[in-house]
């Protein structure tokens, strides 16, 4: 599907406004009566050399003084103990700049469906993700925490560690 210059400018304006690709897909259909799949919209934005904007990060919560005593948590009911995983899931992990620790990569002994090879990675800030290499040679990364993006240094270290693991396996 070809767009004229006015339509391309409108798409660029929508990207500048911070619209997501799905919203652009809907607007193309509503305003120009051009029906495109999500993938076609992705290719269009790529062809126009546009970069969708990331959503603005949420404002940081106000910082409390370090010397203040932590608030007392209610005691668990008699005979019960809170599970460590429950507490970890309720409290978000503090963000760190990344690259300050070590990235560890493991390879699954049983490969995930649709992948040639797969495994897990733990980044220097403690966040973990599942990685896979598909039949087309594309590397995929699915973080366990929604919206998590590892630092550039961690990604580079991940790729080097992954290459080392693949060499050990003879790949």
* DSSP state for residue 169 in the 8-state scheme: T
Residue 45: phi and psi, rounded to 5, are -60, -40
Q: What is the pTM of this model?
A: 0.41
147, HSE (Cβ side, Cα atoms, 13 Å): 7
Residue 120: predicted pLDDT: 94
Structure tokens at 55: 């959503």
| Residue with more model confidence, 29 or 80 | 29
Q: Is 30 helix (H, G, I), strand (E, B) or coil?
A: helix
Exposed / middle / buried, residue 39 (Cβ in 10 Å: 0-12, 13-18, 19+): exposed
The Cα–Cα gap between 149 and 95 comes to 11
Which pLDDT value is given to residue 129?
A: 92
User: Per-residue pLDDT averaged across 141-170, rounded?
Assistant: 88
* Cα(129)–Cα(120) distance, integer angstroms: 6
Q: What is the pLDDT of residue 118?
A: 92
pLDDT, tens only, 91-144: 444 444 444 568 999 999 898 888 889 999 999 999 999 999 888 888 888 888
Helix (H) or strand (E) holding 166: helix 152-168
Higher-confidence position of 25 and 54? 25
pLDDT tens column, 36-80: 888 888 888 888 887 777 666 667 677 766 555 455 445 444 444
DSSP character for 34? Answer: -
């Amino acid at each position: 599907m070809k767009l004229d210059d006015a339509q391309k400018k409108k798409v660029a304006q929508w990207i500048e406004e911070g619209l997501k690709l799905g919203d652009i897909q809907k607007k193309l259909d509503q305003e120009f009566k051009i029906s495109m799949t999500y993938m076609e919209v992705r290719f269009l934005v790529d062809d126009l050399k546009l970069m969708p904007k990331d959503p603005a990060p949420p404002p940081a919560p106000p910082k409390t003084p370090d010397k203040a005593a932590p608030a007392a948590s209610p005691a668990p009911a008699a005979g019960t103990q809170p599970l460590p995983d429950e507490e970890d899931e309720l409290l978000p992990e503090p963000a760190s700049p990344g690259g300050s620790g070590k990235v560890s990569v493991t390879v699954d002994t049983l490969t995930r469906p649709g992948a040639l090879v797969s495994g897990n990675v733990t980044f220097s800030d403690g966040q973990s993700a599942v990685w896979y290499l598909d039949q087309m040679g594309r590397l995929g990364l699915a973080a366990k925490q929604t919206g998590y993006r590892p630092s550039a240094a961690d990604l580079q270290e991940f790729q080097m560690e992954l290459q080392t693991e693949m060499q050990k396996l003879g790949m």
